[in-house]
Amino acid sequence: MTSKRGRLTIPSESGYLEETKRLIELWGADGIRDSDGTKLDDEIKQLAEKVYTTYFVARNHNDFINQHRDEIQQMFLLSERVMATSDTCQIDIMTGFLSEQIEPNHDDPPNTYWEVVDRTTGELLDSASWTYDETKQQVNVTGVTPYHEYTVSFLAYVIWDPTQMYNHITNDWGDVPHDIPFDVRKKHSKQYMADFLKDWLTQNDQTDIVRFTTFFYHFTLFFNDARKEKFVDWFGYGMTVSVQALSDFEKVYGYRLRAEDFVDEGYYNSTFRVPSKRYLDYMTFIQKFVSQEARTLVDLVHDSGKEAMMFLGDNWIGTEPYGEYFSTIGLDAVVGSVGNGTTLRMISEIPSVRYTEGRFLPYFFPDVFREGNDPTVEAQENWLTARRAIMRKPVDRIGYGGYLSLANQFPDFVEYIRKVADEFREIYATIAHIEPYTSVTVGIVNAWGKLRSWQTHMVAHALWYQQTYSYLGVLEALSGQKVKVVFLSFDDVREGRLAEVDVLINAGDAGTSFSGGTHWLDAELIAKINQWVIEGGGLIGIGEPSAVSCNGRYFQLASLLGVDKELGFSLSTDKYFVQPADRHFLTENMTRYDFGEGQKNIYAIDGDTTILHYENGTVNLAVKEIGAGRSVYISGLPYCAENADLLLRSIHFAAHKEAMLKQWYSDDVNVEVHYYPKAGKSAVINNSSEERTATVFDGAGVPCRLTLAGGEIVWRESYDI
Amino acid sequence: MTSKRGRLTIPSESGYLEETKRLIELWGADGIRDSDGTKLDDEIKQLAEKVYTTYFVARNHNDFINQHRDEIQQMFLLSERVMATSDTCQIDIMTGFLSEQIEPNHDDPPNTYWEVVDRTTGELLDSASWTYDETKQQVNVTGVTPYHEYTVSFLAYVIWDPTQMYNHITNDWGDVPHDIPFDVRKKHSKQYMADFLKDWLTQNDQTDIVRFTTFFYHFTLFFNDARKEKFVDWFGYGMTVSVQALSDFEKVYGYRLRAEDFVDEGYYNSTFRVPSKRYLDYMTFIQKFVSQEARTLVDLVHDSGKEAMMFLGDNWIGTEPYGEYFSTIGLDAVVGSVGNGTTLRMISEIPSVRYTEGRFLPYFFPDVFREGNDPTVEAQENWLTARRAIMRKPVDRIGYGGYLSLANQFPDFVEYIRKVADEFREIYATIAHIEPYTSVTVGIVNAWGKLRSWQTHMVAHALWYQQTYSYLGVLEALSGQKVKVVFLSFDDVREGRLAEVDVLINAGDAGTSFSGGTHWLDAELIAKINQWVIEGGGLIGIGEPSAVSCNGRYFQLASLLGVDKELGFSLSTDKYFVQPADRHFLTENMTRYDFGEGQKNIYAIDGDTTILHYENGTVNLAVKEIGAGRSVYISGLPYCAENADLLLRSIHFAAHKEAMLKQWYSDDVNVEVHYYPKAGKSAVINNSSEERTATVFDGAGVPCRLTLAGGEIVWRESYDI
């Protein structure tokens, strides 16, 4: 019998003792937390075994930082492009930026650190060719080429913490002071950070878990002069910079970074850019620093007998849970927001912490918890989506956030959360620490590899982008499937790690880090993959895999994939292969096709390619046998149940494991089966909210008909054959 | 009163004297011609003032060429890509080629002229690393890198003339001998060509016009081993090559061309490739040779008192009617096939001939002239489409081809052709040699410039391609509009020729010769255009104008155009500008939008861009004011009446000539107005086959309502204000 208590953190708020007590009882919560805008009374803190308290390291101390304003965090920013119409050029560097957030750094000499670049040629101008007027915040350049465009890359103080700024502006907080973030690389800040935490720990003896939100550097986020978001990159290291950081970096790496290494033509090293060696060096440099400094804080927490938990977001930059240095921080736990299966796995797979926690949706905020709306709908969708991933690798705890008093006004919701909590505890009790059965090992290859495990194709955390959803579907499908997933960099492939996988997936738009861009100019890489496939490996390309125009091909793996993209250069070559095959293993369950944004002008290079879907002059789905190997091409794979099945079948086909598909499998795409050998159990889950009747196959492929209520999970005694 | 006779060439055939006589009379034909598969009797030849006889220069003489088989025409071909799986590699060079057409050249030493290339790296292999087995037609390469791909570029004889091959295979001609083309660069062929023509001229005294079909080298066209077209490029110089040509070239240019200069990674220098300096040199070299040799034939024709006419097609390579050497050939006339307005202008604008002739559709062949089909429909569509262009610059004659006896079975068709012939003569009599009124001068800029006047975005003559129709619409619209059109190369722009135009158009897919590809890495070019627009010029970009990823932009003219294309690198930057303007001068007549293939992910770079059409997350139509200039962006412009009006309005807007739009203009997009100042006349034409009532504006902008029958042309006395 599974315990009806534990593994659940809920929020509470001041003056809400009795109802909190009731809900703790009803839901079986053992943890209680504060939230943005809420504080816990001492009495409430005594209700739960674990009290979480949010802790900000590098902001919320304006009294301190105002005395050391040269320690405010900084970043390199790129001005607007200004077209010269004579041989001089004036650039107002702050145009388009929010002066409440950004303040040009006038403390370090501009001509030493800033750059004026001719963006028409890409050339850096001699620093003697321009002057800076502090009063006007204007750069005056002489000797320019008329009708070229010029930019200034300038160092600026970030005088408003981005998350507080976002909340402040969104919620119209009025005269609440702007939190000024400080840089703990600097002497006073470093000292202050430690001293304050020491004090705080002694003053917060009721806190069991210090919830760091988060450490030192926020992901890149700045606003425009209309107080709206101008740039957001959840992975951006932009706000970690300072003259001291540049100098420290040079001491370690022996070379000096430029402003351009940060502004990067205006792309600011978006995670979609193939990272340069210099940027990778810098990321490593920051990770080492962040890990080392975070360690000192974690040690203080531990010394006080408390646990250290990190929130995966906000000021998480440099922690890199999948990076080389994360384990040295010594954290007890990581908590993160669960938007779907992918983000669940992003949290639950984090190595070297004792436990992970997922904060589920909806957040108890008035936007959802309003009269006339049923918050249970979002809760159920969130739970069923994430549950697929939990079945593969559970987080150790779940939780919610926001105003408990709001949630409590919706009895159906309260009851649903009771069921979710019980179901989670049951799943956890059954499968935690038990390796689920997997039929195939899949490698995702991109320029980032392991560092961006379950983090591909993301701009801002969990936000929808038209250019990404057709790729994000791949991870989302995989997050709840009976396959082992490893994330490989191109260097991993070069170093022979293809041996670890049955199937390799390359998915993304041409030129991006996820497709691979210029990595595909490396003949050695191509040859490695050629050999591996011909000797029996399985390759799946999605979107513009291996795309870079070179040597007569756009897809550098076109010979393997059997398709290429017509750019206009080979229109003279007749394309005869357009007829889709009638039936195929991959498409047995497809009733309609959705390739998302898909592609245009994809053609089969010869008759050896088997086309499975062709529409409007383009191949959307094709397979090929080459040597002992197989490949699959898919033009796009947004997440839906049928596409998940299509991907699972593609994987089994590419791996020559068609026979294993119908083991621990259901013929209804909404129903999935997970098997846990060491537990002697399997779970059949209905991912939809409607009743489904499915034919479910056990490990011997023996079918049985099963009817599941909407969202139901059915446990069965199961054993290897 | 216009003459009811003349300016018309019709086909006839053996044994069809009386009916030919009747139709000559009815239609007012003054020229008579043979066609593929028809011969004219002597009596028929006496019916018309002008007798055309088709003449083949470099084929149809197998008795000769079989005695000099080393003078058969040649080309460089690229084998299939073969992936090595060990350190040796065998390549069957003829795989995929039609052995009836292609025969490897075993006369010149393969290791001297052929190339084996590692297509995974692009490296040329040492010729000592491979041997060729003539019997097996196989190249054996040693010391290769396993899992790289290799190709052989080999020199081959073209033993079947492509046009005869096409007709032969299409019409199943059975044991009709295959015409073997010979290369008049070679000694015997050159002599034979002249000798035979001399003889022929004396034996064909009834011929008035020698219709060269055509000269020496066919455009690139080869078939696959299933007797179907494998590759076609109407502009390709592939079949002009020989060891002697390479050697002659080296003597002139001081460097040696490689096989790769011809096979070009498998693209064979498609007209969509940005031409290299080496390829341009070679084209010039061939043009000089072709012009010089054609001149000797034309001289012989003239010496015999006959006219020399060239068919624009088939073996036209190297003549280049818009090239530097064409005038030196001394031709009297050019005849070409008219598929639409663009091809009409391609013929009618050819400089330095006394007259041009358009062969109209349908060809009198059984595919159209069959029971149950009404050939008048195609005839009317062809005529109304081409007539727009005739109103701007008429050909001097029109004509038809095929079997006259077939056409004569369709009385409605016979009557329609009578009307067309009369209408053409009336138009010609009224406007020939009179400059029509133009409001704006438009320059089309691409990598080819004048050489490809009215020849952009074409693969095979007049065939529809999914990748081109959205661009071909631009020329088609322009072909019948009140604008002057000039074709500029990027060098022309560099040399200051923007001064000649009011509006510059750049249209095409990224990387292609028509968009410009790497030309857009030239800062000087960009600055020239920047300056010109800012000082008042008008820029229109269509599709992926100025596209090459560099310096933070994809469209290098993004600052002018106000839009750029999101490749995935700038997803982190918020895109706020998505709201189309309510009303605009450009779109006043639009009832529905058709951008053809359009684009994806086009975004407005800032609020200075006025969006006119936004759908599915992409800008399809936008305008911008920058400095004193203006720009328009259109994602694609397939030809239709509304799009033609949209383009005309875009041009007038970009040129700051909105006020001139409604002069010699109609508010019905199907009705157009042309004004001929020196004739004191204007013509109002209904391009549709339905009756239209339009408001027609004269040169003072004074409107008048006019109803025109389907296809009607109304002439009006008109004068400048």
Which residues of A are known to be catalytic? 314
Domain-terminating residue out of A434, A460, A492:
A434
Contact yes or no for B694/B668 (Cβ under 8 A): yes
User: How many percent of chain B have pLDDT more than 90?
Assistant: 94
Q: Are strands B609-615 and B618-626 parallel, antiparallel or unpaired?
A: antiparallel
Q: Residue A522's closest chain B neighbor by CA? A: B121
CA A674 to chain CA mean position, Å: 25
The DSSP bridge partners found for residue B538 are B503, B630
Would the CB atoms of B149 and A468 count as touching at under 8 Å?
no
Are residues A472 and A428 located together in one domain of the fold?
no
Would the CB atoms of B601 and A571 count as touching at under 8 Å?
no
Half-sphere exposure of A24 (CA within 13 A, CB side): 21
B382 lies in some domain: yes
A293 lies in some domain: no
Question: Which domain CATH number covers B498?
Answer: 3.40.50.880
Domain-terminating residue out of A418, A434, A450:
A434
Please name the residues in contact with A671: beta carbons below 8 A apart, sequence gap of 6 or more. Answer: A684, A685, A686, A687, A692, A694, A696, A706, A708
What mean pLDDT is predicted for residues B145-152? 98
What mean pLDDT is predicted for residues B126-141? 98
A104 lies in some domain: no
For residue A636, pLDDT over 90 is answered with: yes
Of residues B268, B559, B569, nearest to A572 (C-beta):
B268
CA B507 to chain CA mean position, Å: 16
Contact list in B for residue A260 (CB cut-off 8 A) is: none
Contact list in A for residue B267 (CB cut-off 8 A) is: 552, 569-570, 572
A194 lies in some domain: no
CA–CA separation, A666 and B697 (whole Å):
71
A294 lies in some domain: no
Are residues A609 and A680 located together in one domain of the fold?
no
What pLDDT does B170 receive?
A: 85
Half-sphere exposure of B679 (CA within 13 A, CB side): 20
Confidence of residue B501 (pLDDT cuts 50, 70, 90): very high
Contact list in A for residue B85 (CB cut-off 8 A) is: 531, 534, 627
What mean pLDDT is predicted for residues B147-160? 98
Are residues A637 and A511 located together in one domain of the fold?
yes
Would the CB atoms of B148 and A527 count as touching at under 8 Å?
yes
Per-residue tokens: A118: 């001719």
Domain-terminating residue out of A392, A409, A434:
A434
What pLDDT does A1 receive?
A: 52
Q: What does pLDDT average to over chain B? A: 96
What mean pLDDT is predicted for residues A560-586? 96
This model of the complex carries an ipTM of: 0.96
Instruction: Give me the sign of the Cα torsion angle A371, A373, A374, A380.
Output: negative
Are residues B528 and B631 located together in one domain of the fold?
yes
Per residue in B61-113, pLDDT (tens digit) is 999 999 999 999 999 999 999 999 999 999 999 999 999 999 999 999 999 99
Confidence of residue B1 (pLDDT cuts 50, 70, 90): low
Q: B190 phi and psi, to 5 degrees?
A: -60, -45
Are residues B451 and B552 located together in one domain of the fold?
yes
- Cβ–Cβ pairs < 8 A, chains A and B: 180
For residue A223, pLDDT over 90 is answered with: yes
User: How many percent of chain A have pLDDT more than 70?
Assistant: 99
Characterize B313-329 residue by residue with b for buried, 16 or more Cβ atoms within 10 angstroms of its Cβ, and e for exposed. Answer: bbbbbbbbbbbebbeeb
- The amino acid present at A528, given as its one-letter code, is K
Contact yes or no for A528/A498 (Cβ under 8 A): yes
CA A660 to chain CA mean position, Å: 31
Would the CB atoms of B272 and A568 count as touching at under 8 Å?
yes
What mean pLDDT is predicted for residues A633-658? 98
Are residues A531 and A623 located together in one domain of the fold?
yes
- Tokens 């639009």, residue located: B590
Question: Which domain CATH number covers A397?
Answer: 3.20.20.80
CA–CA separation, A475 and A541 (whole Å):
14
What pLDDT does B721 receive?
A: 60
Are residues A599 and A670 located together in one domain of the fold?
no
Would the CB atoms of B232 and A617 count as touching at under 8 Å?
no
Contact yes or no for B271/B452 (Cβ under 8 A): yes
The total of structural domains in chain B comes to 3
A97 lies in some domain: no
- Tokens 């292969």, residue located: A577
Kindly report the nearest CA distance between residue B82 and chain A, in angstroms.
9
Among the listed residues B208, B314, B396, B645, the single catalytic one is B314
CA–CA separation, B345 and B361 (whole Å):
16
DSSP characters over A161-205: -HHHHHHHHHHT-TTSPPPPPB-TTSHHHHHHHHHHHHHHHHH-T
Q: Which domain holds residue B493?
A: 440-661
Per-residue tokens: B305: 């008192």
Are residues A356 and A373 located together in one domain of the fold?
yes
B413 lies in some domain: yes
Q: How long, in residues, is chain B?
A: 721
Would the CB atoms of B523 and A233 count as touching at under 8 Å?
no
What pLDDT does B540 receive?
A: 98
Are residues B454 and B342 located together in one domain of the fold?
no
Q: Are strands A602-604 and A563-565 parallel, antiparallel or unpaired?
A: antiparallel
A490 lies in some domain: yes
CA–CA separation, A205 and A305 (whole Å):
9
Helix residue spans in A432-580 (DSSP H): 469-478, 490-494, 523-534, 558-561
Please name the residues in contact with B226: beta carbons below 8 A apart, sequence gap of 6 or more. Answer: none
What pLDDT does B4 receive?
A: 84
Q: Are strands B355-359 and B397-399 parallel, antiparallel or unpaired?
A: parallel
Per residue in A417-454, pLDDT (tens digit) is 999 999 999 999 999 999 999 999 999 999 999 999 99
What pLDDT does B304 receive?
A: 97
Q: How long, in residues, is chain A?
A: 721
Contact yes or no for B20/B443 (Cβ under 8 A): no
Kindly report the nearest CA distance between residue B303 and chain A, in angstroms.
40
Per-residue tokens: B204: 């064909």
DSSP characters over B463-501: ---TTTHHHHHHHHHHTTSSEEEEEEEHHHHHTTGGGG-
Per residue in B445-490, pLDDT (tens digit) is 999 999 999 999 999 987 899 999 999 999 999 999 999 999 999 9
Q: Let me know if A290 is exposed, middle or buried by CB neighbors in 10 A (0-12, 13-18, 19+).
A: buried
Are residues B339 and B371 located together in one domain of the fold?
yes
What pLDDT does B39 receive?
A: 82
- The amino acid present at A89, given as its one-letter code, is C
Q: Let me know if A80 is exposed, middle or buried by CB neighbors in 10 A (0-12, 13-18, 19+).
A: middle
Per-residue tokens: B205: 């005294």
Per-residue tokens: A370: 């309003």
What mean pLDDT is predicted for residues B263-278? 97
Question: Which domain CATH number covers A700?
Answer: 2.60.40.1180
Helix/strand/coil for A257? coil
E strand or H helix at A141? strand A138-142
E strand or H helix at A613? strand A609-615
State the best of A458, A569, A570, A615 to mutate against chain B, taking most chain B CBs within 10 Å.
Answer: A569
Are residues B557 and B476 located together in one domain of the fold?
yes
- Tokens 């479910």, residue located: A696
State the best of B89, B264, B457, B571 to mutate against chain A, taking most chain A CBs within 10 Å.
Answer: B571
Would the CB atoms of A119 and B267 count as touching at under 8 Å?
no
What pLDDT does A546 receive?
A: 98
Would the CB atoms of A574 and B224 count as touching at under 8 Å?
yes
Contact list in B for residue A460 (CB cut-off 8 A) is: 572
Contact list in A for residue B122 (CB cut-off 8 A) is: 550-551
Per residue in B166-221, pLDDT (tens digit) is 989 988 889 999 999 999 999 999 999 999 999 999 999 999 999 999 899 999 99
E strand or H helix at B430? helix B411-431
Are residues B494 and B361 located together in one domain of the fold?
no
- The amino acid present at B327, given as its one-letter code, is S
Contact list in A for residue B228 (CB cut-off 8 A) is: 574, 576
For the question of residue B108 being annotated catalytic, the response is no
